[in-house]
A and B are shown apart, each in its own frame.
Chain A
Amino acid sequence: MLTRLLGRAGDAVDDTLENLLGEPFADRMGRVPLALGSSGVDPFGLDPEWMKYVILAIATLHRKYFRTEVNGIRNVPTGRVLFVANHSGQVPIDGALIAAALFMDGEPPRLVRAMVEKWALSLPFVSLFFTRVGQVVGVPENATRLLSQGEALLVFPEGVRGISKTFDQRYKMTEFGLGFMRLAMETDTPIVPVAVVGGEEQYISVANFDGLAKLLRAPAFPIIPQVFFPGGQLPLPTKYRLWFGEPMRFSGDPDDDDSIIEEKVWLVRQTVQSMLNRALKERKHIFW
């Protein structure tokens, strides 16, 4: 009885995914360049069986809930690539949608990896989940290895400063970290700038409660009035727009002085900012 029920649920998952993807999941997954071993798991612990359910979830967000509009996906080169995006929206849905776009709209489909904080990997279930869906600990060795393996990596150089912006600061990027540039130079990886529009309006944060955040040792404590209304706990169904820019290549000594690296980082940051500004100007409405 139970197995039959589970079997039927499994079929339903497959059907829904096929509808969303326009082809069976296994076919699309098979075209992703991955270093899967004979056991069906890659050396970092990514398991396509787990990916199925994650992709079902993010594909639904991508196509149905946020109805993402994807531009410039053809700019994504094959082989190793580093995506640099603006971070927004209190909850990192932007990362999930970039991943969905690269898997569903890119050809060949790509599975993008992000780097997670090490404390996340000391938590039960969270650690298991992140590992199986291909997220790795944010240490330079892992980033270098993944890129030299020809994988795609997504970074938000703004970090939590970017995601916890208040509404009046929307689409104004904060400072970028320098690590991603040194990584790209060291591994000779093209950087693809990505602008994400729509995230800043999903949760409208009016202020940040810094004292409480410090007390809770959380990175930020945003005040979001909508969560007090019924249904407001869900993000507002804004229309997301993703813009993939042309690949940028940088050369030079990755161990150069901060001042030299900063200039190159500034160039990437300005590119993302101008893509954002243009996308905002073209946008007719927040929700459609």
Chain B
Amino acid sequence: MTESATLRAAARARLPSLPPSAGGAVLITGICGRLGKQLARALHRERPVVGVDRRPFHDKPKDIEHAQVDIRRKKLKDVFRPGDIQAVVHLGIMHDPRASAAEHHSWNVSGFTKLLEYVSQFRVPKLVVLSSANVYGPQPSNPQFLTEEAPLLGGQNFSDIRDLIEVDMLAQSFFWKLPETETVILRPVHILGSVHNAPSNFLRLNPIVTVMGFDPMIQVVHQSEVVRAIELALMPGIRGIYNLAGPEPVPLSRYIKILGRQRIGVPYSLARMVMGRMWSLRLTTFPAPELDHIRYICMVDDRRARQVLGFTPRMSAEETVLSVDDGRW
């Protein structure tokens, strides 16, 4: 630990011009995920990066320090002890729908509570939490574009998302609990790219199954844009909740056309039944309630991110959606 602390101190000495909150070490939880690795690569040349993940970090750049610990363990505190962590980026949210509800809850909620405890104890000036636009939930009664003030109703029909809502709420409580820490909550729409999340995996299917008689407008954002938004969120002075969206929304069928895949429309009741059965036989990674995402809209108003964060998506819908093929197994 002392060795790494001196390393970090040396790294900080290389960047004397930056203010402490912009130049200190960044702690990234869930660094071994695809998004985490991208973020680490984007940041490590400018400031020291410390990673926390219980998975091993293969092909890790040399100057990144990785602590292979479970965020629920006390050992996490050791990462904070040198006192030079100036920002925490929380990406380590478990999304595995196969994991038991108890494991999910303890990882996402207790783990995050621990993290928040250390952020407050060590007076970390910046906390960035990657939530998701899914916390709003797809509903037929949704306004076309949901603002950050919209209620988080995602758990209404899909209970697995309740943890994520709880994490979002815990981060929100930090706004008033610890006003000296600049807390930022990012709520991106469906992230596409080489990541292995549900929307990217869905678009990798061939043929793609859709619900007959529904073709909702959908927003997507490329993983590299999310990385850029996190970098912007790390700037001093930025705090609050920001919806993130990529290029202008288009109907689901257009994305499928761009990918050149077959499309099979299945009546909702049949799709739900088959998916439920396949889920119990472990033949699919999509739980049946997720079908609502391809029936109803869940789109966000990203004006605040554009105006305050200065976030303008650069990639077109074509580039974004075609990038899912990079992540094929």
Contact = CB atoms under 8 A, between A and B. Distances in A.
A137 B144 contact: yes
B interface bracket (residues with beta carbon within 8 Å of A)? 20 to 34
B248 A38 contact: yes
Contacts of B295: 122, 127
Interface stretch (B22-30, B37-45, B72-80, B212-220): B212-220
Interface in B236-252: 248-251
Contacts of A260: none
A145 B145 contact: yes
B268 interface: yes
Contacts of B316: 38
**For B214, B296, B316, which residue has the most chain A Cβ atoms within 10 angstroms?**
B214
Given A39-B317, A41-B250, A45-B251, A137 B140 contact: yes
A131 B217 contact: yes
Contacts of A41: 217, 250-251, 254
Contacts of B212: 124-125
A139 B217 contact: no
B213 A118 contact: no
Interface in A228-282: none
Contact of A37 (B143, B145, B248): B248
B289 to A, nearest CB: 15
Q: Interface SS of chain B: helix, strand, loop or mixed?
A: loop
B142 A137 contact: yes
A229 to B, nearest CB: 34
Given A41-B251, A41-B254, A43-B248, A124 B144 contact: no
Nearest to B212: A124
A145 B144 CA distance: 9
A86 B211 CA distance: 37
A136 B147 CA distance: 17
Please provide the 6 A-B residue pairs with the shortest distance between their CB atoms, ordered closest to farther. A124-B213, A141-B143, A118-B141, A125-B213, A121-B140, A37-B248
Interface of B: 140-145, 147, 211-217, 248-251, 254, 267-268, 295-296, 316-317
Interface of A: 37-39, 41, 43-45, 47, 118-119, 121-128, 131, 136-137, 139, 141-142, 145
Given A39-B254, A43-B144, A137-B143, 15 more contacts: A37-B250, A39-B248, A41-B217, A43-B249, A45-B217, A45-B251, A122-B296, A124-B212, A124-B267, A124-B268, A127-B214, A139-B142, A139-B143, A141-B144, A145-B145
